[in-house]
Amino acid sequence: MICLRCNNKTFYTIPEARIDQEYKGLCLTVITPGVVCKNCGFICIKNNQLDSLVKNAKKTYQNFLKKKNKEFVLSHKNIYNM
């Protein structure tokens, strides 16, 4: 694996990398395992970590929808005094 910024070949793994990922047209910040370049700090994902990225993106998307639905229901309860 080679860093896209500095062409360095040494990385270290981190358990919680913040990665911006698009899922169903929505840009989400996903926390997933990743690797970081030792030279410049660029965060990458290895091929064997892609499954966890997709799973975590799905969970983040579902949590986002739950939060939005809850806000929608509460706002309508307040409007109609329910």
Overall average pLDDT of the 26-40 stretch = 91
**pLDDT score of 72:** 75
**pLDDT score of 81:** 65
- Residue 1: inside a domain: no
**Whether pLDDT at 10 is above 90:** yes
**pLDDT score of 14:** 92
Tally of structural domains, the chain: 1
- Residue 2: inside a domain: no
- Residue 27: inside a domain: yes
**pLDDT score of 80:** 66
- Residue 4: inside a domain: no
Note if the pTM is more than 0.85.
no
- Find the domain containing 47 and state its range: 11-79
**pLDDT score of 35:** 94
- Residue 29: inside a domain: yes
- Residue 3: inside a domain: no
Q: What is the 3-state secondary structure (H, E, C) of 2-68?
A: CCCCCCCCCEEEEEEEEEEEEECCEEEEEEEEEEEECCCCCEECCHHHHHHHHHHHHHHHHHHHHHH
